[in-house]
Amino acid sequence: MVGTRGVPARYGGFETAVEEIGKRLVAAGHEVTVYCRGDKHADGEYLGMRLVHLPAIEKKVAETLSHTGFSVLHAFREKIGRDGADVALVFNAANAPLLPVLRTLRIPVATHVDGLEWKRTKWSGTGQRYYRAAEALAVRWSDALIADARGIQDYYRERFGAESVFIAYGAPILAETDTAKLAEAGYTPGGYHLVVARFEPENHVHLAVEGYRRSSATKPLVVVGSAPYADEYTARLKALAGDDPRITFLGGVWDQDLLDALYAGALTYLHGHSVGGTNPSLLRAMGAGASVVAYDVNFNREVLGAEAGRFFHDAASLAAEVEAAEADPSAAADRGEAARKRAAEQYVWDDVAAAYERLCEDLAARRLTRRTVRPRNK
């Protein structure tokens, strides 16, 4: 498993997926190697997964690709030493230029293509062109594509004539709110609105802040998040908030128990992500029973369905949803319970891991090849 920051999962959705899937594959009797960057785990093993730590160039444009480059070279040496992998799971289509190395080793490759990265405003024209090209290379050189949302499947089918395997993420299901953790942070259940997001324009934190400021809400807005390369956007958010005493920026919250308690205790969770597929933050909020108000795009509607959320498209519509939740908190709570039920039924990690196991078996048996990715040879 290559292309992420690795495990233990401390950063984002890819890392959580690697941990949840990897440990279940180990339990099913498979040997799993995870390539990692960042702090080393003391044992060189985690939850039965073998960890290989390698460096990366710590620049926005080079970090992921450079680490994956070191990883595939390591895999090359291991394969030459006849101790190589039977299957490679590569996360992020941005790593596609390195797939020929794995193909040279005759290692079947599945690429998890993630969302539409080229739509992210942090990338310049050159960066956008690179991501568009990388998508095409992933289609050309992968034996299977993994899409975590039907909308991503549709995109690859329509743009490239390519077929993909749909495997979503799982959702952690929380039975109750850790009120002690909330109290320590100064909050009470149902007493605030919540945003959790990396500070990037396509996550629409600015609409959440602007819309909330326009509202007559009396419960505070708590904003959790930051971004390593987004100083200008962060400054814009602070300017939008102005001196409104109802808005608090907590920065990054790395205590997962506290973060879960914040999700579970929120009157509403305001979700602005727009360019990914099935978003792990949205699933975590649903599993916590949060009443979700999500940005109106196909990915979010796919995950929430018809009954488990409300939607906004601009600051005015978000303000109206926040006011409506405060006017009828019981209806908001009912939507939260519907979201938790949907997550528990539709987004189950055991099912996700079983789908990955079947995928790997199909790859190893050569039932999936580049011809199945592009059956019409487009």
Whether residue 5 has pLDDT greater than 50: yes
Task: Give the integer Cα–Cα distance in Å for 68 and 49.
Answer: 18
- Quote the longest CA-to-CA distance of the chain: 66
Task: Give the integer Cα–Cα distance in Å for 183 and 11.
Answer: 25
* Model confidence pLDDT, tens digit, residues 267-295: 999 999 998 789 999 999 999 999 999 99
Q: Where are the domains of the chain?
A: 13-170+349-373, 179-346
Average pLDDT, the chain: 91
Name which of 1, 72, 79, 68 is nearest 34 in CA terms. Answer: 1
pLDDT, mean of residues 81-89: 80
* Per-residue pLDDT at 43: 81
Task: Give the integer Cα–Cα distance in Å for 37 and 102.
Answer: 20
* 141, 99 contact by CB (below 8 A): yes
CATH of domain 13-170+349-373: 3.40.50.2000
* Model confidence pLDDT, tens digit, residues 310-350: 999 999 999 999 999 999 999 999 999 999 999 999 999 99
* Per-residue pLDDT at 13: 84
Whether residue 141 has pLDDT greater than 90: yes
* Model confidence pLDDT, tens digit, residues 58-79: 776 678 889 999 999 888 888 7
> Which positions ≥6 away from 135 have C-beta within 8 Å?
93, 96, 113, 118, 156, 159, 160
Task: Give the integer Cα–Cα distance in Å for 174 and 287.
Answer: 6
* Per-residue pLDDT at 12: 76
Homologous superfamily in CATH for domain 179-346: Glycogen Phosphorylase B; (3.40.50.2000)
Whether residue 81 has pLDDT greater than 60: no
> What's the pLDDT band for 374 if we cut at 50, 70, 90?
confident
Strand partners of residue 247: 221
Both tokens of residue 84?
């190589």
Domains 13-170+349-373 and 179-346 fall in the same CATH topology: yes
| Burial (CB count within 10 angstroms: exposed 0-12, middle 13-18, buried 19+), residue 317 | middle
* Per-residue pLDDT at 235: 93
* Per-residue pLDDT at 378: 46
* Per-residue pLDDT at 214: 97
